[in-house]
């Protein structure tokens, strides 16, 4: 039996384990990336390991999240990251150079290579045929130190594409359709592999849009073949030597197959407040909007911007709409400026933002109260925009631009006269002068730390028994934005866990942080798909700081569960989901003999002392994960092995 693409790339990087779905494996990592919202913590953790230089083929640090410098905090973090990169062998992309995933795709992604990044949308690299996986910052630190990355061998879901997209229907509509089919938890434990004759009609930027939002499926990663379109893209970037053809074997097998006819797709929107709440634009047509934001790592490529410029050319946005546009990289920005497309965008009334994540993470451009905001982004979780009651819809660039002109939801197919085919340029404008290389020898480089950078919390070894109260109870689909919000007011404190702690779970329960301190920590009880969304390990580190010892839920999202284990917090699930109803806020709970039970793989029982009942739990950990938990987390485990 032949191999599919995912299996081929895993096999070529396999360090340990068997390629049997569900079994723990480890893989060699070729490249890493960080961004500044998670990067400070990742480099603090790397420093704690005591390794002089990174051991990967290539490691990069991008400044693209915390670019709003309203105080010294972000600037200090950027200075720290630049100096630590210089010292330890990491390339540094300065603020303004662009969004990590867009720049990495353009300048550094290589088909067939493995990449882990401290950002959940790292699978963008799958659009170029990489094995690209979003992880927590500590996992990136370990990879930079030469360690393998551990994961459970994923299932592989094939999305078989046929036909060709109609004018004004886009790659964004493809991934929204996949989300409609699979839901935000349908990809958990799986890699989404795209194939079929329809793949040939999609450019690399279009493929990257699709793999980018695979994160919203909960998938380990998503991947496309590396083919002639890939070679053309790399050649235009001056990197044809990086091209390697990669395709599934003709007799490759998959765990599930989904068929999508591209020619039958129509413009779609993800409605508030979940990426899988899908409706047709025709069903929303005519409804008033307040704001449009175009950009993010999902839809900020040269091709996307050129399509938007064509729709806006010679027209003016509606008087009731605020339109903000952020090109994804300085390369894109420069090319738009040189060919006149930027002038068309500005003349139409758009507010042009810097090449950064910006509004996607609540860093500016928050909509008005209860405002309807159409965004070409990847997430529309409640409050993520910075406006608690903001109504955020995820749409394609074509839908966004057409709606900005009309002031209401508009089917972009009504603007067919504005449709353009944007071919990949034969040569992109290449200028890497904002990529700062590391020092040849780092011994003489001073690492610069600002006063906002505080030590990160480190857990203690797992005790024999844990007795705490249920300090919080939440429902299904709790995101890392719920656990540790982003936004312009909070992000500057990503390197200051004590300050950050006051915002933990504030979206769900404003009293949580105060209660956790008063009760000396406790247990968190949750529903299905707990921890979906961003890879931010602050969603584990801050609860750790507040004394959370275990999280007991119906099911976990992959990255967050790994981050909890890395922090030494027990992630446990209900054997019977209905037992979720048997625990209330404030109940006295106990995990007796938990250390021995975890280490020996024995059945775990939670005692609810308040209600006088026992609840069976599931503890599905590998031998390595058991050792991590026993040590109190990955850093303690690593230090103990030295």
Q: What is the pLDDT of residue 57?
A: 98
d(CA 242, CA 226): 11
Does residue 582 lie within any of the structural domains? yes
The CATH number covering residue 473 comes to: 3.20.19.10
Q: What is the pLDDT of residue 416?
A: 86
Say if residues 628 and 634 touch (Cβ distance below 8 Å).
yes
Whether the bond between 273 and the residue before it is cis, its omega within 30 degrees of 0, is yes
Q: What is the pLDDT of residue 552?
A: 98
What would the pLDDT profile of 272-298 be if each residue is shown by its tens digit?
Answer: 999 999 999 999 999 999 999 999 999
Residues 272 and 240 in one domain: no
Residues 70 and 105 in one domain: yes
Give the mean model confidence (pLDDT) for residues 223-248: 98
Give 535 or 608, the one with higher predicted confidence: 608
Does residue 457 lie within any of the structural domains? no
Does residue 137 lie within any of the structural domains? yes
Structure tokens at 103: 């720049």
Burial of 224 (0-12, 13-18, 19+ CB in 10 A): buried
Residues 189 and 300 in one domain: no
Residues 272 and 397 in one domain: yes
Alpha carbon of 42 to those of 72, 80, 356, 452: distances in Å?
20, 12, 20, 16
Say if residues 383 and 481 touch (Cβ distance below 8 Å).
yes
Residues 411 and 275 in one domain: yes
Alpha carbon of 591 to those of 129, 287, 516, 550, 620: distances in Å?
45, 52, 18, 9, 16
Geometric angle at alpha carbon 486, from 484 and 491, rounded to 5°: 105
Among 264, 290, 324, the domain boundary falls at 264
pLDDT above 90 (res 66) = no
The CATH number covering residue 411 comes to: 3.30.499.10
Give the mean model confidence (pLDDT) for residues 619-625: 94
Q: Which helix (H) or strand (E) holds 586?
A: none
Q: Which helix (H) or strand (E) holds 121?
A: none
pLDDT above 90 (res 218) = yes
Residues 498 and 599 in one domain: yes
Give the mean model confidence (pLDDT) for residues 185-209: 97
Between 27-41, 188-202, 301-315, 412-426, the lowest mean confidence (pLDDT) is in 412-426
d(CA 10, CA 5): 9
Burial of 181 (0-12, 13-18, 19+ CB in 10 A): middle
Sign of dihedral through CA atoms 466, 469, 470, 471? negative
Percent helix, percent strand, percent coil in the chain, to nearest 5: 35, 20, 45
pLDDT above 70 (res 427) = yes
Residues 316 and 172 in one domain: no
Ranges assigned E (strand) in 353-409: 372-375, 391-394
Among 391, 415, 439, the domain boundary falls at 415
H helical segments located in 407-505: 480-483, 497-500
The count of domains in the chain is 3
Does residue 630 lie within any of the structural domains? yes
d(CA 128, CA 211): 10
Alpha carbon of 370 to those of 291, 385, 411, 416: distances in Å?
11, 11, 23, 31
Does residue 600 lie within any of the structural domains? yes
Q: Which domain holds residue 495?
A: 466-641
State the pLDDT confidence band at 641, using cuts at 50, 70 and 90. Answer: low
Residues 487 and 410 in one domain: no
Closest-CA residue to 383 (of 500, 297, 476, 489): 489
pLDDT above 90 (res 455) = no
Say if residues 123 and 103 touch (Cβ distance below 8 Å).
no
d(CA 537, CA 558): 12
Tokens 């008005």 correspond to what residue?
368
Hey, how many other C-beta atoms are within 10 angstroms of the C-beta on 369?
10
Tell me the three state secondary structure of residue 589.
strand
Residues 219 and 194 in one domain: yes
Give the mean model confidence (pLDDT) for residues 544-562: 96
Residues 627 and 549 in one domain: yes
What would the pLDDT profile of 345-389 be if each residue is shown by its tens digit?
Answer: 999 999 999 999 999 988 889 999 999 999 999 999 998 998 999
State the pLDDT confidence band at 69, using cuts at 50, 70 and 90. Answer: confident
Residues 16 and 47 in one domain: yes
Residues 38 and 73 in one domain: yes
Does residue 149 lie within any of the structural domains? yes
Q: What is the pLDDT of residue 642?
A: 59
H helical segments located in 523-641: 538-545, 558-567, 594-600, 623-631, 634-641
Does residue 217 lie within any of the structural domains? yes
Say if residues 562 and 136 touch (Cβ distance below 8 Å).
yes
Does residue 445 lie within any of the structural domains? no
Q: What is the pLDDT of residue 494?
A: 87
Among 264, 296, 328, the domain boundary falls at 264
């Amino acid at each position: 039996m032949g191999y599919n693409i995912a299996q081929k790339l895993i096999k070529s990087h396999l360090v340990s384990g068997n390629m049997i779905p569900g079994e723990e494996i480890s893989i060699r990592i070729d490249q890493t990336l960080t961004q500044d919202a998670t990067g400070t913590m990742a480099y603090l953790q790397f420093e704690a390991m005591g390794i002089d230089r990174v051991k990967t083929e290539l490691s990069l640090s991008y400044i693209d999240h915390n670019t709003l410098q309203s105080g010294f905090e972000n600037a200090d973090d950027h200075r720290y990251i630049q100096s630590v990169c210089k010292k330890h062998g990491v390339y540094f992309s300065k603020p303004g150079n662009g969004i990590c995933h867009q720049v990495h795709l353009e300048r550094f992604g290589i088909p067939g290579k493995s990449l882990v990044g401290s950002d959940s949308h790292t699978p963008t690299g799958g659009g170029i045929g990489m094995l690209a996986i979003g992880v927590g910052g500590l996992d990136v630190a370990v990879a930079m130190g030469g360690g393998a990355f551990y994961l459970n061998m994923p299932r592989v879901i094939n999305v078989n594409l046929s036909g060709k997209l109609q004018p004004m229907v886009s790659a964004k509509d493809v991934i929204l359709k996949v989300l409609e089919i699979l839901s935000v938890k349908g990809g958990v434990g799986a890699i989404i592999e795209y194939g079929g004759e329809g793949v040939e009609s999609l450019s690399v930027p279009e493929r990257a849009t699709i793999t980018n939002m695979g994160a919203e499926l909960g998938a380990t990663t998503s991947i496309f073949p590396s083919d002639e379109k890939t070679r053309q893209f790399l050649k235009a970037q001056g990197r044809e030597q990086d091209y390697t053809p990669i395709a599934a074997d003709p007799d490759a097998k998959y765990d599930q197959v989904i068929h999508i006819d591209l020619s039958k797709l129509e413009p779609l929107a993800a409605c508030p407040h979940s990426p899988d709440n899908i409706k047709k634009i025709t069903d929303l047509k005519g409804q008033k909007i307040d704001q449009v934001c175009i950009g993010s790592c999902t839809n900020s490529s040269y091709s996307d911007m050129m399509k938007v410029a064509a729709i806006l050319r010679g027209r003016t946005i509606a008087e009731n709409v605020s339109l903000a546009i952020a090109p994804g990289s300085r390369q894109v920005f420069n090319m738009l400026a040189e060919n006149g497309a930027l002038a068309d965008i500005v003349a139409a009334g758009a507010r042009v933002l810097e090449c950064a994540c910006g509004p996607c993470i609540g860093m500016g451009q928050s909509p008005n109260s209860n405002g309807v905001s159409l965004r070409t982004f990847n997430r529309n979780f409640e409050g993520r925009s910075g406006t608690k009651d903001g109504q955020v819809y995820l749409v394609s660039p074509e839908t966004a631009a057409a709606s900005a002109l009309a002031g209401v939801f508009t089917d972009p197919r009504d603007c067919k006269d504005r449709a353009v085919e944007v071919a990949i340029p034969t040569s992109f404008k290449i200028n890497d002068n904002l990529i700062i290389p590391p020092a040849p020898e780092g011994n003489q480089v001073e690492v610069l730390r600002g006063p906002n950078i505080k030590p990160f919390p480190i857990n203690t070894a797992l005790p024999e028994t844990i007795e705490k109260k249920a300090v919080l109870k939440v429902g299904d689909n709790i995101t890392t934005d719920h656990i540790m919000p982003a936004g312009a007011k909070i992000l500057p404190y990503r390197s200051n866990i004590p300050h950050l702690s006051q915002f933990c779970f504030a979206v769900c329960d404003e009293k949580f942080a105060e209660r956790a301190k008063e009760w000396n920590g406790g247990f968190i009880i949750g529903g299905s798909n707990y921890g979906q969304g961003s890879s931010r390990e602050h969603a584990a580190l801050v609860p750790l700081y507040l004394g959370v010892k275990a999280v007991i839920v119906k099911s976990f999202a992959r990255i967050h569960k790994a981050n909890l284990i890395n922090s030494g917090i027990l992630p446990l699930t209900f054997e019977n989901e209905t037992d979720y109803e048997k625990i209330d806020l404030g109940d006295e709970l106990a995990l007796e003999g938990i250390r021995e039970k975890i280490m020996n793989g024995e059945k775990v029982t939670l005692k609810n002392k308040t209600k006088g009942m026992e609840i069976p739990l599931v503890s599905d950990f590998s031998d390595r994960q058991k050792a991590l938990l026993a040590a109190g987390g990955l850093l303690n485990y690593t230090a103990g092995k030295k």
